[in-house]
């Protein structure tokens, strides 16, 4: 019942292809993000590019989600819904979260973008985005056979604490197994204790996707659309996400950009 799927070599070959498409889409999104475009424009772009690669966008109709990608600006933590009414402006920070599905496997990854370029964004916003990427990398670095899922959250928590910025780590949303299902076991919490949780084995595939708030860790779910998650205190939030494979040697980042 709580089993964690182990992917065969063939499964991994297929999943690499899906994850490569997800990564290519995120590369291309970086070229279209600019002041004046709407999050609906991002949705249209991601939807079309996904289909061009023979894949389908996993978010569309997932538990009733109405769009093909999540676009989360500034104080939106995750699951922002694209809309023609939401227009990017210089100085915004935005997370674009892409999941594609092809040949029976999902590939899930998200990145942060600076609207108008890094120079348009506040130093504090840039630092939050940079620290959050480093948190993801620190988490990924713990992944190896025999390690515990709790090692990931422990490393992220220790790293965020070491920055002494007072950032909050979101608890309500987590990383997750990904493969034949969009969300499967194990759950990957972004805080934790070393040596706790499931033991990592070769062939496991899961996401690590820390959401880090400039202020407190608490979030509020929109009562209007039932999806948009915001920081409770209105502070900025950042997130980066990769799909990671446990290999006999350690790990492989399946959604890395090439
Ligand atoms: N891609 C998100 C994640 O990292 C999930 C989005 S669910 C959706 O798990 F329905 F909002 F698309
Ligand atoms: Co995602
Ligand atoms: Co995910």
Can you give the CATH number for the domain in which 19 is found? Answer: 3.90.230.10
Q: What is the distance in A from the centroid of ligand 3 to the CA of 213?
A: 18
Q: Containing domain of residue 97, as a range?
A: 9-253
**pLDDT attached to residue 208:** 99
Read out DSSP for 182-226? Answer: SSEEEEE-SS--TT-SPBP-TT-EEEE--EEESS-S-EEE-TTTS
In a domain, residue 58? The reply is yes
Ligand 1 proximal residues by C-beta, below 6 Å: 59, 62-63, 65, 70, 79, 97, 99, 108, 207, 209, 241
Q: Is residue 235 part of a domain?
A: yes
Residue 156 resides in a domain: yes
Q: Closest ligand 1 atom to the C-alpha of 97?
A: 1
Which pLDDT value is given to residue 1? 58
**Paired tokens of 2:** 């709580």
What pLDDT, on the 0 to 100 scale, is given for residue 104? Answer: 98
What integer pLDDT is reported at residue 253 of this predicted model? 99
Stated pTM of the model: 0.98
Residue 2 lies in a domain: no
Which pairing describes strands 219-221 and 229-231: parallel, antiparallel, or unpaired? Answer: antiparallel
In the prediction, which pLDDT does 37 show?
98
Q: How many domains does the chain have?
A: 1
Q: In this structure, is residue 3 part of a structural domain?
A: no
Omega of the bond prior to 52 within 30 degrees of 0, cis? no
The segments of the chain whose pLDDT lies below 70 read: 1
Residue 258: the pLDDT is 76
Answer whether residue 192 is part of any domain: yes
On whether residue 239 sits in a domain, the answer given is: yes
pLDDT at 15: 98
79 alpha carbon, closest ligand:
1
In a domain, 91, yes or no: yes
Q: Which of 57, 61, 65 to mutate to test the pocket of ligand 1 (most atoms within 8 A of CB)?
A: 65
């Amino acid at each position: 019942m709580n089993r964690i799927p182990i992917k065969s070599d063939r499964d991994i070959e297929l999943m690499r292809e899906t994850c490569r498409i997800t990564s290519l889409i995120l590369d291309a999104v970086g070229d279209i993000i600019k002041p004046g475009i709407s999050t609906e424009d991002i949705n249209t772009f991601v939807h079309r590019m996904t289909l061009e690669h023979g894949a389908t966008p996993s978010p569309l109709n997932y538990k009733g989600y109405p769009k093909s990608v999540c676009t989360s600006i500034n104080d939106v933590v995750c699951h922002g819904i694209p809309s023609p009414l939401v227009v990017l402006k210089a100085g915004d920070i935005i997370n674009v979260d892409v999941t594609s599905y092809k040949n029976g496997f999902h590939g899930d990854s998200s990145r942060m973008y600076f609207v108008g370029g890094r120079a348009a964004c506040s130093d504090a916003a840039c630092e939050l985005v940079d620290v959050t990427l480093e948190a993801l990398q620190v988490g990924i670095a713990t992944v190896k056979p025999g390690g515990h899922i709790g090692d990931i959250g422990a490393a992220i928590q220790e790293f965020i604490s070491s920055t002494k910025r007072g950032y909050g780590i979101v608890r309500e949303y987590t990383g997750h197994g990904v493969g034949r299902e969009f969300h499967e076991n194990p759950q990957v919490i972004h805080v934790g204790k070393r040596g706790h949780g499931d033991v990592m084995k070769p062939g496991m595939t899961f996401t690590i996707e820390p959401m880090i708030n400039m202020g407190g860790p608490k979030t509020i779910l929109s009562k209007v659309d039932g999806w948009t998650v915001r920081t409770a205190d209105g502070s900025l939030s950042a997130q980066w996400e990769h799909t990671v494979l446990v290999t006999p040697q350690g790990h492989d980042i399946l959604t890395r950009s090439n």
